[in-house]
């Protein structure tokens, strides 16, 4: 077998009647229907099967599928994990370490809930424009230039949403975008960020329970940064801290060295660091079936759950 279908999930929860009905995720009932389809039409493998294929050339059944779950959401403990156990299948989970250990909400998740709570995108864009107008910083470009460069729709979002995401994720200088994101989150979502983080992410005990029950975990960086934007030194520091977290999860066992790149972002330096650290598998956001060649096991493609027609 040379190809593998890898599917990634993020928010999996009851959405329609929740306090965040606009969050972009998968309803739990649809998730169950997807699993029905996958179990009927695919061979759902575990991470160890993929590792053994890489290390020992052990065969994987044709039409195989691997399930991956990004971002360490409590959704995965409350809704996903019991469903997988009930069906006798496993998944690979990638929590960003800082969110779990320090109960800090990642900037990207703050942005998701700002957008989910404040559905008036025009108002948010005006707030960003006003914020920039009151900042004197040589690193800041003009609002019109940002708009021309960033306001481009993709398969999942309209141009206004892409603009907001890119401005708050990476376009602005780090200290400024963090301050702006935090201000908008406090205004539109909640000021009690510690409580929100506890409700949003796994606890460490939940992770450990899942791992003991056969679920697998990999790293998703420490702070959920764009790794390709970091210096070599900062990338290595982040990965080292993430490995320490992973080893803690596996308590005395050999932790599988796998990574899921936040935002799908990496560069040659990232790959070189990972090779030195004995990582063997990396999951990207590139859309498509994963081609199983040893030369590209650190850059495997995946399908988002929304890419698959069930």
Mean pLDDT of the chain: 93
Label residue 252 by pLDDT band (50, 70, 90). Answer: confident
- Of 47, 49, 208, 199, the C-alpha closest to 113 is 199
- The predicted pLDDT at position 208 comes to 95
Q: 282 pairs with which residues across the strands? A: 259
Which residue do the tokens 């470009």 mark?
Answer: 141
Label residue 310 by pLDDT band (50, 70, 90). Answer: low
- Model confidence at 109: pLDDT above 90: yes
Helix (H, G, I), strand (E, B) or coil at 251: coil
Helix (H, G, I), strand (E, B) or coil at 29: helix
CA quadruple 226, 258, 246, 72: dihedral positive or negative? positive
The helices-and-strands tally (H runs, E runs) of the chain is 14, 9
CA quadruple 207, 210, 214, 218: dihedral positive or negative? negative
The answer to whether residues 278 and 298 touch, using CB atoms and an 8 Å cutoff, is: no
Please enumerate in sequence order all residues whose Cβ is within 8 A of that of 219, keeping only pairs 6 or more positions apart, or say none.
94, 97, 239, 242, 243, 245, 246, 258, 259, 260
Instruction: Quote the CA–CA distance of 80 and 99 in Å, as a whole number.
Output: 19
pLDDT in tens, 2-14: 799 999 999 999 9
What token pair was written down for 259? 């990574």
What token pair was written down for 220? 């998703």
- Model confidence at 213: pLDDT above 80: yes
CA quadruple 183, 173, 112, 149: dihedral positive or negative? positive
Q: Which DSSP helix (H) or strand (E) runs through 266?
A: none
What's the whole-model pTM score? 0.94
CA quadruple 169, 172, 175, 179: dihedral positive or negative? negative
């Amino acid at each position: 077998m040379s190809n593998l279908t890898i599917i990634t999930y993020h928010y999996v929860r009851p959405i329609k009647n929740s306090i965040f009905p606009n969050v972009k995720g998968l309803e739990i009932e649809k998730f169950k229907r997807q699993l029905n389809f996958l179990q009927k039409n695919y061979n759902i493998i575990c991470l160890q099967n993929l590792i053994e294929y890489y290390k020992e050339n052990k065969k994987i059944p044709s039409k195989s599928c691997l399930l991956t779950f990004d971002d360490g959401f409590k959704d995965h403990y409350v809704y996903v994990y019991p469903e997988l156990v009930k069906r006798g299948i496993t998944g690979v989970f990638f929590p960003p370490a800082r969110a779990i250990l320090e109960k800090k909400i990642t900037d990207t998740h703050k942005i998701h809930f700002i957008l989910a709570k404040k559905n008036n995108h025009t108002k948010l864009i005006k707030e960003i424009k006003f914020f920039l107008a009151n900042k004197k910083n040589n690193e800041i470009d003009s609002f019109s230039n940002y708009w021309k460069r960033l306001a481009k729709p993709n398969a999942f979002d309209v141009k206004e949403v892409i603009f907001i995401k890119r401005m708050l994720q990476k376009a602005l200088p780090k200290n400024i975008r963090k301050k702006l994101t935090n201000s908008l989150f406090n205004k539109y979502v909640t000021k009690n960020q510690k409580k929100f983080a506890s409700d949003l992410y796994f606890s460490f005990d939940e992770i450990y329970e899942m791992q003991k029950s056969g679920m697998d975990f990999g790293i998703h960086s420490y702070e959920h940064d764009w790794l390709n934007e970091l210096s070599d030194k900062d990338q290595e520091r982040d990965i080292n801290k993430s490995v320490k977290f992973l080893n803690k999860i596996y308590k005395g066992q050999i932790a599988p060295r796998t990574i899921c790149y936040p935002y799908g972002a990496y560069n040659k330096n990232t790959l070189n660091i990972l090779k030195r650290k004995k990582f063997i598998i990396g999951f990207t956001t590139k859309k498509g079936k994963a081609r199983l060649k040893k030369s590209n096991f650190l850059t495997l493609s995946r399908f988002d759950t929304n890419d698959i027609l069930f």
